[in-house]
Structure 1
Amino acid sequence: MASEKYTDRELMVSAAAAEVEDGDTAFVGMRLPLIAFQVAVSTHAPDAMAVYESGVVRDTPADGFIHTMCDLPNLNRAVSTTGMIDIMSRLQRGDVDVGFLGGAEIDRYGNLNTTWVRAGDDEVRLPGSGGACDIACMAGRTILLMPHEPRRFVEEVNYVTSPGYANDGTGRKGHPAPGGGPSALVTSKATFGFDESGELYLRSVHPGVEAADVLVDFPWEVNTAEDVDAGTVTTTPEPTDEELELTEHSTPTDSGLETSTIC
């Protein structure tokens, strides 16, 4: 829950940034992931490198405020400014360690839907994949971000836009996608991991949130860290003063996550 010190989105940025490891090559998209990488490379992951769908590659934070991946501060002193084919080729070669994704719906095995959803008796068409399916299929792992709303959590998505794990509990064994699959889901209430079978479980709750307030939003019985022998459910660390300074005036006026693929 947001506090007087930080917003829900700033907490999500901090939690997502923590998932980036030093030395990672990260496929970074728009909105919150753009900020999360800036925070990660400025703090605990100075040797991380970002690749952007627009063709930019950089191993340092942008030298000024950026709204989009194509803003001039993100181009200045970049390692390279190439094109989409070069970036997607890196992904295909297996050179991307982690990618950020979002969606309108997610199921218990991390499959994402950004193609169409049911709204009562109607079907609503959404933006679709963009490059999200490529990232989900070929990145070493993915970090998922979305607002915490019950309508987004379904036992099985209406349409698999971006694959997570096989819904038979076999994870990525024999899965046609060569990448590693989702490693974390960050919402505005909690962070989740994925167990050996590929099923989502509750890893931590954000400050001021009770686990029961999180678990009630799912249409299936969600496991917790205790259930999968992954320790205990902890409290998500609050953003540090340094992180908040880095994200000051950087979070978008809306969530940017409504149906976004974040790529």
Structure 2
Amino acid sequence: MMTVAAARSLTDGAACFVGIGLPSTAANLARRTHAPELVLVYESGTLGAKPDRLPLSIGDGELADTADSVVSVPEIFNYWLQPGRIDVGFLSGAQLDRFGNINSTVIGDDYANPRVRLPGAGGAPEIAASCGEVLVVMRQSTRSFVESIDFISSAGHGRGPGDRERLGLRGRGPVKVITDLGVLEPDPATRELTLTHLAPGVSVERVRAATGWELAVAERLVVQEPPSPAELRVLRALTATAEA
């Protein structure tokens, strides 16, 4: 459901900054179903990649072999990402707060001596700052959806309306947080994440129990459509190829 929900969020013709894992699967699913002109951009420097199978990493030769162009990593960031030429990017992390700020750096209040030191943000801050919009994909639990994150690795909506503009961030920030329980979207006025879609068979109570703050719920709550036969067929073919 997470992969299908992410794929459905991608529009035909958009330029998508893709990561390995679920984002890559979702982007390739979208390209093979409703968005054949989706432009896949991988951090390694491949523009317009059209892989016949799911890549094993951003350095997989399949991406370069099928790309419209291959450029350097600095050019990807300096020319394509930071000037706002990428429409949508995927992000995830260890922690997320009610305004879509992400932590992928440390767990614990003391940065110098944290309880857990995580891999870090990599290119995520630039994606969060400069993509036209961001899709966050994370499994939902009170461990990851917290009242206050320990470190802001990638900015979402700061502390509310106007924060992105004050910080000079180009893009709209997180427009959807896609989880295994449903979809959260920022409220137009407060920018606080609000539950707008439920996964099939999931209750509002279950989502609230997996959230570390008092979760707002949309007045018109929608139940997500289950995957279509076509989506399942393509998704199974993609994953079968990857496993092979």
TM-score, scaled relative to structure 2 = 0.90
2:95 maps to which of 105, 116, 132: 105
Higher relative CO (Cα under 8 Å, sequence separation at least 6) belongs to 1
Which of the pair is proportionally richer in helix? 2
**CA contact 1:117–1:158 (8 Å) conserved in 2:** yes
**Could you list the per-position Cα deviations for residues 93-136 of structure 1 after superposition, in whole angstroms to 9, with x for gaps in the alignment?**
110010000000000000000001139x9610001111001100
Q: Does 1:189 align with 2:181?
A: yes
Letter paired with 1:95: R
Q: Tell me what 2:73 maps to.
A: 84
2:227 corresponds to 1:213: no
Give runs of aligned pairs for residues 155-234 of structure 1, distance below 5 A: 155-170=147-162, 172-196=164-188, 197-226=190-219, 232-234=220-222
State the distance in 2 between where 1:163 and 1:104 align. 14
Q: Cα 1:173–1:93, aligned 2, differ >3 Å: closer, same or farther? A: closer
1:233–1:93 distance in 2 versus 1, CA, 3 Å? same
Structure 1 residues 250 and 126 mapped into 2: Cα distance closer, same or farther (>3 Å)?
farther
Name the SS of the counterpart of 2:3 in structure 1: helix
What is the number of equivalent residue pairs in this alignment? 235
Change (3 A) 1:250 1:116: farther
Q: Which runs of 5+ in 1 are unaligned?
A: 1-10, 227-231, 253-263
Q: Secondary structure at the match of 1:174?
A: helix
Aligned to 1:153: 145
CA contact (8 A) 1:63 1:74 kept: no
Instruction: Tell me if the contact between 2:198 and 2:221 (Cα under 8 Å) persists in the aligned partners.
Output: yes
SS of corresponding position for 1:172: helix
Over the aligned positions, Cα root-mean-square deviation in angstroms equals 2.0
The 8 Å contact of residues 24 and 54 in structure 2, kept in 1 or not, is answered as no
Deviation at 1:175, TM superposition (A): 2.9
Report the CA distance between 1:241 and its aligned residue. 2.1
Identity %: 35
Worse-superposed segment, 107-116 or 243-252: 243-252
